[in-house]
Chain A
Amino acid sequence: MSRRSFEWAPASLHLAAHHPFALRRGWVQWTYVLAGVLALLAVPSVLPPYWLHLANLSLIAVIGAVALNLLTGNARLVSLGQAALLGVGGFAAGLLVRAFPGIPFPIVLCGATVAGLLIGLIVALPSLRLRVLYVAVTTLALHFAAVTVFAIIQAVVLDSSGINMPVAAIAGFELGSAVRWYFVLLSLAALTVLGALNLLRSHIGRRWVAVGEHDVAAESLGVSVARAKLSVFVVSSAVVSSAGALSAYYIGTVSYESYNFGLAISYLAMIIIGGLGSVLGSVLGAVLITLLPYALDQVFAVVGLQIRASTLAGLQEMLFGALIVGFLLFEPRGLAEVWRRVRTAAADWPFRYRAAQRATR
């Protein structure tokens, strides 16, 4: 029987030693950061419009996945309510737009964030008394309850097939094209990533990790478990909800059908495949999982296989499931760990390992 201890990425070590985004003052790091920023800024001039659309979807997914990873990866409260929270953001934005036509986009975004914050607080309250498994099932139940509520809102209150969102505009700057969206989403995603990295380095994030590692030990060391759980739920839900509002604006409609359980699973797949507890992992996983269905489509188109849409959906589900299970069993730290290994191997080449660093790290 394999009794392998399940190691999670200790957030602190990860950030200080090996993170490519770590804001260390060294010219090497600054060169990396500068090159990365330039590459990201140059993306719209290189990519064709369709690919730019996919890049935008990935950026929205990055925001949601980074926030989910704080909750599920760092504080280790497995949340299956991601789709419901995205829906909270989407419906909050949609209802605001419907109630006050002409309301500015940033205000709607703030409103959706506040809605997510409140819902997060409500979801967090029972979780204060519950442990991992119970939190998962409670969020699962809440997902189905929330989707029912969305359906009721849509059918009874709106008597329509959904809400059409207006074109977003920031102070007169209309986000009418994919290129404009790209820059807005890129800056918001960068803000989320940097915010998450800094939170994880601060006392707040360290408390989350401590509670995730061992709640009793954390409490006996003076960490208030209740406050840590509450704060991680609130922060994560608020950010996820704003991602939901962004995606509602970007896609242009809000409808309860799009917030199905498959969405929650695909976000869980993102952070598991990317690496639980790693911000870099959330980014990698979000991009990979967003592109995967389109890549699968392309592969079948190139090979020339004609398959039905339902079969394709089934294949995609099988692939998601196999990836989730496979990464959990064989690479529990996800793509972030693969990337770290590749980096280390490249840096140490032609040697197998670094002599100066002891293996005890």
Chain B
Amino acid sequence: MTLLLTIVASWGIYALLGMGIVIVYRTSRVLNIAGGELAVFVGYVVATSIAQGLPFAAGLAVGALSAAALGFVVFLALFRRLMGEAPHVGLMVTVGLATFVNGVIVIVFGGGMTAVQTGFAGFVNVAGARLAVPDLVAACGAWLGIGAIALAYRLTNLGLQMRAVAERVMLSAQRGVNFDRIVALSWVIGLLALGLAGSLHGARAFVAVSAAVIGIGALLACLIGGMDSLKGVVVGAFIVSVAETLTAVYVDPRYVLLVPVGILLAVLAVRPWGLFGTVEEFRRV
């Protein structure tokens, strides 16, 4: 039961991070390596504002505002200029962004280890199992976030436009979709997802520079599931979190990254476009 909760919580956080990466990738074709760093940055914002005396909800709101602003600024300053460039350029820009954000974290927040104080702590007993309350909070928050994003993506008009851009840019632009605005919006939503995941990870475990490694797990989840599929990310995140949790519990916490990497290589050998990715997306010679 405890194990199950751990898996559900880390599954939710990886899926949320992965959604933040995939939503951006679908509209702008930029693979965001900096996901983990950006998530940790927002996590620090939330942790610091709660430490300043704000209640948990207000801290999350501050985090959401700063995440949205950050996403907009990142898009406006960097990726707006890079639209239509070859994909590896965007990728390398995100590598630079990751380094830059890391430096900012160290200078602004000191880079030390802290945590997001949710105001909920301790354990509850459910059916004879001791469940950590922060894990429950993180799991609920992450799955609420995933549900909200997925519903908005499927049901709202803007979500429809984002899907149209992802399907075919030219056609959607001709039918009146404001491409620039949609890509900016996808960066904002992506950063919101990343930020929420970073804060929840901070509530569950800790916020630190080294926590940016969750971005690697999320990237693995995206690749396993297929870079351009939201459904795939959720499945990929499930695989990654199960593999990681079981390795950490039954083998050795130090080997946590090895198993998902092995799974990724196996998946790529059989289905290089990922479990749910579009095959045409993956041109190969």
- A interface, CB within 8 angstroms of B: 1-4, 6, 76, 78, 80, 126, 129-134, 136-138, 140-142, 144-145, 148-149, 151-152, 215-216, 218-219, 225-226, 262, 265, 268-269, 272, 310-311, 313-325, 328-329, 332
Contacts and interface: CB of A to CB of B under 8 A. Distances in A.
B99 A78 contact: no
A321 B97 contact: yes
A134 B83 CA distance: 20
21 contacts: A126-B265, A129-B268, A131-B283, A132-B86, A132-B91, A134-B223, A137-B31, A138-B268, A141-B216, A141-B257, A216-B285, A218-B285, A313-B106, A314-B102, A315-B107, A316-B103, A317-B106, A321-B96, A321-B99, A321-B100, A329-B82
Interface in B1-42: 31, 33
Interface residues of B, number: 53
Nearest to B282: A131
A140 B260 CA distance: 13
A131 B268 CA distance: 11
Given A78-B91, A133-B227, A138-B223, 11 more contacts: A2-B84, A78-B88, A130-B268, A132-B86, A136-B33, A137-B219, A138-B265, A151-B254, A311-B107, A321-B96, A324-B99
A265 B34 CA distance: 12
Contact of A131 (B82, B100, B284): B284
B93 A328 contact: yes
Given A141-B220, A324-B92, A328-B92, A318 B284 contact: no
Contacts of B51: none
B92 A317 contact: no
Contacts of B85: 4, 6
Contacts of A316: 103
Interface string B218-246: 01100100010000000000000000000
Contacts of B265: 126, 138
Contacts of B99: 262, 265, 269, 317-318, 320-321, 324
A322 B100 contact: yes
Given A6-B89, A310-B111, A317 B100 contact: yes
A256 B146 CA distance: 37
B107 A318 contact: yes
B87 interface: yes
Contacts of B165: none
B171 interface: no
A47 B210 CA distance: 39
A215 B268 contact: no
Q: Secondary structure at chain A's binding surface: helix, strand, loop or mixed?
A: helix
Nearest to B108: A314
Residue in A265, A269, A328 whose Cβ sees the most chain B Cβ within 10 Å: A328
B261 to A, nearest CB: 4
Contacts of A3: 83-84
Contacts of A314: 102-107, 111
B283 A140 contact: no
Contacts of B272: 129-130, 134
B261 A141 contact: yes
B81 interface: yes
Interface string B137-168: 00000000000000000000000000000000
Task: Kindly list the 8 A-B residue pairs having the minimum CB-CB distance in the complex, ordered from nearest.
Answer: A321-B100, A324-B96, A314-B106, A317-B103, A318-B103, A321-B99, A325-B96, A314-B107
Nearest to B37: A321
Contacts of B269: 126, 129
B103 A80 contact: no
Nearest to A132: B88
Nearest to A212: B88
A58 to B, nearest CB: 21
